[in-house]
Amino acid sequence: MSYSEIPIPNRSQHLWKYTPWNKIHPTKVDNIPTVQNATIILDGQIISPNSIRDADTNLEISRTFLKETNNTMHSFVISENNNCLAIVIDCSNGMNLSHLHFDVGVNSNIQISIVGECEWLGLHITGNLDSNVNCSFAMINQISKTTTLLRCEDWNIARDSSLEYGELSIGGGRVKSDVRTYLNQANASLKQNVAVMADGQRHDDHHIEIYHKSGHTYSSLNVNSACTDSGHAIGTGLLVIEENCDGSDAGQVFKNLLLSQKAKAESIPELEVLSDDVSAAHGAASSSVNEEQIHYMMSRGFDREDAKSLIVEGFLISNFAKMSNENSRNFLLNHLKAEESDN
């Protein structure tokens, strides 16, 4: 089905409740605009697209739109152990788009930085993990806060493989992310950690779906969002354990820290459990900064703003501190600390 044949979603749909399609589409919703490829930099060298996206039967509007807007992609086959595959997505001028695809056959570490300034960026990341693979994936969104970002991701994880996923989202004025992971075979696992800083007038909407399609699969999702000024963070999660998936273990937790009266946060975790012998849990909580913590730190010589900044930094850092891959952990933590120091 083509983009023009897919009905425009309305806000009654879970995925589009907080960020309607017409607010994330770069032009008018019945139009497929002309866009340029974002610049992709690998190990300091600009690389060109090397593949054409396959036709698919996905009826989801974002993915179909991104494919029809530009069907080229950068495809990476990871067949040799690497210390780190470091990729920069650099957008500039007008409207940009990029599709990155990863076929992961060995233990690997992937780091992605999204930088630059443009009107609109469309990004689709897809990945397949072969059996017996440990992959650590870390991404930092630091594009200009004048940029609108539409981002989709689709990951497939095979038997006895694990994806450790860390994301820091601090860029883009309006951001819509739709990230989906499929645990397809026994002992596939996902540990997904997301940290969001919604400051200024940032609108950051994360929708995350995790599908357990086999028994004895494991997932954990943790999303920490700090909101200040007029920032708005949204986190919606759908966790599905399908039939005949006994022995699976899954959980998702959303935490929000509200730092001003105008800041807003919504968290909506959902479970759909169709098997009996499983462990599944979810939770969401929002709170303001603990005044006792601030007073304690002020008694140790910090002023109020510095004390608040350190509390926010600790809140966001906690989501990455337990990541097992040192390269990914340091990549995220060092950038987060530098960002807080600049502020």
* Residue 313 belongs to some domain of the structure: no
* Residue 312 belongs to some domain of the structure: no
Q: Are strands 72-78 and 51-52 parallel, antiparallel or unpaired?
A: antiparallel
What pLDDT, in 10s, does the model give residues 88-98?
999 998 999 99
Coil, strand or helix at 336: helix
Q: Check pLDDT > 80 for residue 267.
A: yes
Coil, strand or helix at 191: strand
CA distance 336 to 140: 9
CA distance 102 to 110: 9
Provide the domain limits for residue 133.
3-289
Q: Check pLDDT > 70 for residue 51.
A: yes
pLDDT score at 293: 84
pLDDT score at 231: 97
Q: How confident is the model at residue 43 (pLDDT cuts 50, 70, 90)?
A: confident
List the Cα angle 16/18/24 in 5-degree steps: 65
pLDDT score at 165: 98
**C-alpha to C-alpha distances, 118 to 93, 144, 200, nearest whole angstrom:** 5, 8, 18
Residues 90, 44 contacting (CB under 8 angstroms): no
Q: Check pLDDT > 90 for residue 311.
A: no
Coil, strand or helix at 252: strand
* Residue 188 belongs to some domain of the structure: yes
First to last CA, the chain: 46
Q: Whole-prediction pTM value?
A: 0.95
Q: What is the enclosing helix (H) or strand (E) of 332?
A: helix 326-342
Say how many domains are in the chain.
Answer: 1
**Alpha-carbon Rg of the chain, whole angstroms?**
20
What pLDDT, in 10s, does the model give residues 143-190?
999 999 999 999 999 999 999 999 999 999 999 999 999 999 999 999
CA distance 129 to 135: 8
Q: How confident is the model at residue 302 (pLDDT cuts 50, 70, 90)?
A: confident
CA distance 65 to 53: 13
Q: Are strands 218-227 and 189-198 parallel, antiparallel or unpaired?
A: parallel
What pLDDT, in 10s, does the model give residues 64-101?
999 999 999 999 999 987 778 999 999 998 999 999 99
**C-alpha to C-alpha distances, 179 to 81, 131, 156, 236, nearest whole angstrom:** 26, 21, 12, 11
* Residue 96 belongs to some domain of the structure: yes
What pLDDT, in 10s, does the model give residues 313-339?
899 999 998 899 999 999 999 998 887
What's the token pair of residue 20? 């309607």
* Residue 24 belongs to some domain of the structure: yes
